């Protein structure tokens, strides 16, 4: 282990010096870094030079490169933010760790568990930190919900329900979304699945059904865009998740595109993502509704709500703090791999039409010892 000598590399002001790879989703990360007093943006990178020019002009930030290696060779950069296509994450993480950089990688962390064992071993050898950008945990309603849960305001947790239902028919205009490799299971449902993992980390079995909707079929999707799953945890508690991505949704006054519902022994709470809304009935029976409309411009900075840079602000600063003051920022690599193992188990249940065991997937990829299973 190389220890935590990385704090010596940070600027005198204590900022984490960041390079960003992938400037599509990385657009939010650029904005987040430039609005943070804990991050110093050093260089941005995309293999498409036209995209580099667009971002450079948009953010008045001249330092870009089309060569990832150039960022990795820069000794002034402490950490790399990886926002490339899913299939490239493993290689880009590997290159960053080998270059002695900390890593922030967007979800889903990996698209192939074959890469997981080598990455875990490499990270441990390097002594560098890896943080998975599961941004939804860092949204205002979900932060408040977790804080209230930790205070015991709803008692002991009975069950968790989470969903992500969105009208993403505009995705059908993206050629890569119509490729066989694109799966809403990983690209969309990983958000509410992360909520389940946050509260019930030891899921042992999952059963799910999925279908490709009429809209998805007409648009050329190759994999299910409508899914429902039930989970069983090690201690017997159950949870459920659902996702639907190719049809209209309810008005925001009636429903949220993404929600996490906790039901406890003495209370219940619900965080509504897009609406910046949170409701709780606590152990005393008091009902409360909280909104953060005044923070809308912090979270949603671009056209519509297509980019939610405020969450990136929150999680980048959390990651910077973890390096500076030496604590683990979750989800880390181990938790991230565990989530991919769960998603893989869910995919198998869709294929088999039967309940599937998470342990079978973990064993197949030789991850028992590394994941503590």
How far lies 143's CA from each of 230, 278, 327, in Å? 24, 10, 18
For residue 7, what pLDDT is reported? 37
Q: Where are the domains of the chain?
A: 5-136, 157-264+333-360
- CA distance linking residue 314 with residue 307, whole number of Å: 14
CATH architecture of 157-264+333-360: 2-Layer Sandwich (3.30)
How far lies 308's CA from each of 24, 70, 254, 297, 301, in Å? 13, 28, 22, 9, 7
* Contact predicate 48/107, CB 8 Å: no
For residue 177, what pLDDT is reported? 85
pTM over cut 0.85? yes
For residue 305, what pLDDT is reported? 66
For residue 10, what pLDDT is reported? 57
- For 308-367, the pLDDT digits (tens) are 889 999 999 999 999 999 999 999 999 999 999 999 999 999 999 999 999 999 999 999
- CA distance linking residue 341 with residue 113, whole number of Å: 7
- CA distance linking residue 150 with residue 145, whole number of Å: 9
**What residues of the chain score a pLDDT lower than 50?**
1-8, 12
- CA distance linking residue 244 with residue 256, whole number of Å: 13
Q: Is the dihedral of CA 200, 322, 82, 168 positive or negative?
A: positive
For residue 324, what pLDDT is reported? 93
* Contact predicate 193/165, CB 8 Å: no
Specify the 3-state DSSP secondary structure of 281: strand
Q: Which string of DSSP letters, residue by residue, matches 106-117?
A: ESS--S-GGGHH
* Contact predicate 263/282, CB 8 Å: no
The CATH class, in words, for 5-136 is alpha beta
Angle at 100 between CA 97 and CA 105, to 5 degrees: 40
Query: Whose structure tokens read 């919900």?
Result: 145
Q: Is the dihedral of CA 108, 110, 113, 117 positive or negative?
A: negative
What token pair was written down for 310? 């405020």
- CA distance linking residue 194 with residue 260, whole number of Å: 10
What token pair was written down for 174? 């993206």
Asked if 5-136 and 157-264+333-360 have one fold, the answer is no
Q: Which ranges of 78-166 does DSSP label H, i.e. alpha helix?
A: 89-98, 116-126, 140-150
What token pair was written down for 207? 């059963």
């Amino acid at each position: 282990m190389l220890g935590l000598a990385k704090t010596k590399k940070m600027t005198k002001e204590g900022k984490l010096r960041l390079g960003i790879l992938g400037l599509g989703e990385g657009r939010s990360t650029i904005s987040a870094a430039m609005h943070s007093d804990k991050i110093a943006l050093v260089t941005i990178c995309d293999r498409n030079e036209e995209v580099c020019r667009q971002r450079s002009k948009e953010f008045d930030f001249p330092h870009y490169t089309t060569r990832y290696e150039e960022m990795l060779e820069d000794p002034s950069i402490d950490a790399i933010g990886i926002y490339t296509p899913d299939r490239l994450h493993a290689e880009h993480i590997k290159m960053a760790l080998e270059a002695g950089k900390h890593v922030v990688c967007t979800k889903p962390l990996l698209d192939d568990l074959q890469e997981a064992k080598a990455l875990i071993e490499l990270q441990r050898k390097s002594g560098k930190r890896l943080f998975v950008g599961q941004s939804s945990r860092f949204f205002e309603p979900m932060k408040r919900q977790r804080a209230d849960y930790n205070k015991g305001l709803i008692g002991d947790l009975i069950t968790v329900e989470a969903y992500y239902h969105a009208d993403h028919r505009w995705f059908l205009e993206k050629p890569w979304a119509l490729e066989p490799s694109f799966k809403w299971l990983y690209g969309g449902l990983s958000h509410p699945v992360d909520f389940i993992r946050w509260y019930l980390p030891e899921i042992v079995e999952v059963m799910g059904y999925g279908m490709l909707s009429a809209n998805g079929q007409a648009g050329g999707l190759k994999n299910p865009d409508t899914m429902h799953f039930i989970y069983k945890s090690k201690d017997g508690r159950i949870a459920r998740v659902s996702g639907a991505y190719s049809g209209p949704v309810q008005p925001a006054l009636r429903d949220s595109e993404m929600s996490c519902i906790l039901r406890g022994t003495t209370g219940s709470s619900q965080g509504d993502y897009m609406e910046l809304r949170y409701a709780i009935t606590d152990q005393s029976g008091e009902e409360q509704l909280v909104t953060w409309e005044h923070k809308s411009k912090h979270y949603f900075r671009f056209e519509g709500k297509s980019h939610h840079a405020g969450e990136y602000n929150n999680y980048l600063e959390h990651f910077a703090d973890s390096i500076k003051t030496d604590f683990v920022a979750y989800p880390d690599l181990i938790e991230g791999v565990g989530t991919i193992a769960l998603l893989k188990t869910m995919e198998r249940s869709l294929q088999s039409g039967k309940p599937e065991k998470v342990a079978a997937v973990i064993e197949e990829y030789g991850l028992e010892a590394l994941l503590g299973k």
